[in-house]
Structure 1
């Protein structure tokens, strides 16, 4: 039996013994997705985190996602395979600098994309995901001014979609800015029957090529419902595993990145820091654990609950 299969069986047995639940983001490696109790995007994982009755939550994703699970489940143990699995968006919005930035906009509602730290969430009126960002912006009265952070690309997309003039924090996701327009055009010319779908964190010139723009779960649902047989996918390539399971008869091609790498696609190095071995060890030792101050949790809960209401 392969080492991966042995580890998967050990993790499943340990999970049952400890009454734990494993959440995995779509961008995790296939072998982690296969043993997860739930695989989803940020919004779906947030909802599941709010609903779970498990004693231990193992979060295979990046750190801000595990923080969100802890905020929604302050009495539960939340653990991560690798505590250093961060996020370029979250890291690019330091709390001290964001606090100073907000001083320039005292009468603005603050909407933050879920890809930010727990401390940034405490400074927010609303949190949103790529799945519900348009709904969240549209729910804010039109007379209110808005600061949107930390993703400027998602912010520009939302300005176009909602017509709201928002102040944007200058942050971006390195994964979604890695796509090459030149290579994408070349790929499309070779596959003129393909439909381009893209994540709204991508740059504007990539979004202009897309027939569909949406969250990871939105893309999956769109491709499932579409009669078209071939798609070019502009988001982190980890989504292809789940997508192919949902549409085994369709052809899925990852959008090419600027860099020449083994898959010629865009990968999130942070997401790929997690492994089966790390997942097993963290569940065995119940560590590293996500620990947040009670006051921080209370403050961060408010904008997340506002999102879940919407």
Structure 2
């Protein structure tokens, strides 16, 4: 539509005028993915945030992702289209609760590994960060003489233990979207597509992961779908991933993983960002992400450790 086209053109004008880069997570709506300079998962976006020469980072994702960009780029302006775009995993592990737990269990001398889906305050309390793509690698590099506390996603942590054989204490958080997928919902779609392969995100429950032909991060899903021998692939993750997959794997029949309640799973937080809000945040350079320097500096240590261990 002409209005949408005008909006896109004006976003591109503002991006050039403000010397901005637009980063978008794989779960963002299609129009935002299409206009972004880079679309990827948390690890890829972390690299881009660290390496960009732009003065402004417009982060189309959720709040903890924009915080990550600010942690790595304290001198840059970081804006988020919707300041209320949060994350159920971030909410599951408040920094004050984690700090209290670590003080109560100080004698255990935990090595704390935090999934990137957490606040800057939690990152500041941790030894190292991980993503769904590098979590097994990060856990394998953890000191052998210290117990591991993995926060906040218990499903991802359980999967990592299965992959590495390392025992960890798990914070009992979960992604509200990924736990909506069930064994029955996957069986139902398999009845319609009996030859379909199943690729699932590790934030899913164990019952769903056991049905999957591949369990991996969103970025690795692209490689799996491109090389999969079957044309039919059930993609068990947030619905936004289908947009990118269909662009990169046009010859595949990519089927949205169903939940018991609906044909696909939308994250209400990821879908809060729109082109209109992106335009507004570039025009006004607001809402901006700000982090107290003492928190930012501590969080940066754990993030840089992740980036160093991931290369």
Q: Please state which band the TM-score falls in when normalised by the shorter chain.
A: over 0.9
| Partners of 2:116 and 2:283 in 1: CA distance | 29
- Is the Cα–Cα contact under 8 Å of residues 79 and 288 in structure 1 kept in the other structure? yes
The residue aligned with 2:31 is 31
The 1-side partners of 2:241 and 2:3 are apart by: 24
Deviation at 1:144, TM superposition (A): 2.1
Moved more, 185-194 or 209-218: 185-194
Deviation at residue 183 of structure 1 after TM alignment: 2.0
Residues 249-268 of structure 1 mapped to structure 2, 5 A cutoff: 249-260=251-262, 264-268=263-267
2:230 counterpart of 1:231: no
Q: Which residue is 1:47 aligned to?
A: 47
Shift of 1:122: 0.4
Aligned equivalents of 1:203, 1:169: Cα separation in 2: 15
Bigger Cα displacement from structure 2, 291-300 vs 77-86: 291-300
Aligned pair count reads: 307
Deviation readout 1:2-32 (Å, 9 max, x if unpaired): 3222211110111011110000001000000
| Kept after mapping to 2: 8 A contact 1:4/1:31 | no
- Map residues 124-273 of structure 1 onto 2, 5 A cutoff: 124-260=126-262, 264-273=263-272
Q: How many angstroms does 1:189 deviate by?
A: 1.8
CA distance in 2, matches of 1:39, 1:125: 28
Per-residue deviation, 1:239 = 0.4
Provide TM-score, normalisation by structure 1.
0.97
Q: Which runs of 5+ in 1 are unaligned?
A: none
Whether the aligned pair in 2 keeps the contact of 1:90 and 1:116 (CA below 8 Å) is yes
CA distance, structure 2, for counterparts of residue 299 and residue 183 of structure 1: 42
Question: What's 2:277 paired with?
Answer: 278
Unmatched segments (≥5 aa) in structure 2: none
Question: Paired residue for 2:304?
Answer: 305
Task: Tell me, in whole angstroms, the C-alpha distance in 2 between the residues paired with 1:67 and 1:29.
Answer: 20
Task: Give the match's secondary structure for 1:253.
Answer: strand
8 Å CA contact retained: 2:18, 2:56: yes
CA RMSD of aligned residues (A): 0.9
For residues 161 and 72 of structure 1, what CA distance do their matches in structure 2 show? Answer: 29
Give the deviation of 1:153 after TM superposition. Answer: 0.3
Find out whether 1:71 has 2:71 as its counterpart. Answer: yes
Which has the larger displacement, 70-79 or 184-193? 184-193
The alpha-carbon deviation at position 294 of structure 1 amounts to: 1.2
Q: Distance in 2 between matches of 1:221 and 1:102?
A: 39
